[in-house]
Amino acid sequence: MLRPDEIERALVVTAHPDDVDFGAAGTVANLTDAGVAVSYCLVTDGQAGGFDHAVPRADMASIRRKEQTIAAAEVGVNDLHFLGHMDGEVVASLELRHEISRVIRTVRPQVVITQSPERNLDRVYSSHPDHTATGEATLCAVYPDARNPFAFPELLTSGLEPWSVSEVWVMGHHAPREVVDITHQVERKLRALHAHASQHPDPTAMDERVRAWFRMTAEQFGLPEGASAEVFRVIDTR
């Protein structure tokens, strides 16, 4: 797993607003604190999310874009790419691979953080069909699409040179192997999550679940008592 001082730029690709904040916001905060330029790519606008039936469904996309922009700023990110796909309808299509490849070639990251393309039968919530489709399309975009000058040739003719990502950090994987200590970033992670106000009918209960989950994760990976951690399956794509 590359150290922050070995990374100049990183890109996070997720299906919905708030996915990164649940899965990797502490790690993102560590990266930005170390001077890494982090960008986000959101495949959908989370149009099918929320709990308040009084909110017009047509307004949800713009609400969630604003929430994600605020949440990103909490952990030092201000470069966001919204692809605008429909929530609940994501497939790992050539179209989506093309769009993610465009973002990769634009950002030119050493590291891409994304969701697992594999369904986790022990954690069904992390295996939303949009998550697995996004993870699959992102891995295809990393290899072979973004690095191949003959894939999506219009990207090359529009000035976007091929780019090879060095590592992919997969969150929500059923067999993570790398642990990131986020003990000093937990409050920022929670502030990022609170920015998604349209999604949390009980913010206090959400806080308690998040704190407990990431303390348990740290304990499972042998970190000191009271620590919090996020975990990843790291793929070397060099």
pLDDT digits 0-9 by tens, 36-56:
999 999 999 999 999 988 888
Residue with tokens 């959908």: 44
Q: Sort strands 111-115 and 229-236 into parallel, antiparallel or unpaired.
A: unpaired
Q: What's the confidence (pLDDT) of residue 224?
A: 96
Residue closest to 194 by CA, chosen among 47, 108, 77, 71: 71
d(CA 79, CA 18): 15
d(CA 238, CA 234): 12
- Percentage of the chain surpassing pLDDT 70? 100
Output the CATH code of domain 4-236. Answer: 3.40.50.10320
User: What token pair was written down for 204?
Assistant: 């206090």
pLDDT digits (tens, 9 = 90+) for 84-112: 999 999 999 999 999 999 999 999 999 99
Q: What's the confidence (pLDDT) of residue 58?
A: 87
Helix (H) or strand (E) holding 216: helix 203-220
User: What token pair was written down for 151?
Assistant: 């894939």
Question: What average pLDDT does the segment 9-35 reach?
Answer: 98
Tally of helices (H runs) and strands (E runs) in the chain: 8, 7
Region of 11 (left: φ > 0; alpha: ψ -120 to 50; beta: rest) is beta
- Give backbone dihedrals phi and psi of 85, rounded to 5 degrees, phi first: -70, 160
Question: What average pLDDT does the segment 76-83 reach?
Answer: 98
Amino acid in position 46:
G
pLDDT digits (tens, 9 = 90+) for 183-227: 999 999 999 999 999 999 999 999 999 999 999 999 999 999 999
User: What token pair was written down for 102?
Assistant: 């465009």
Q: Is 39 in contact with 80 (CB distance < 8 Å)?
A: yes
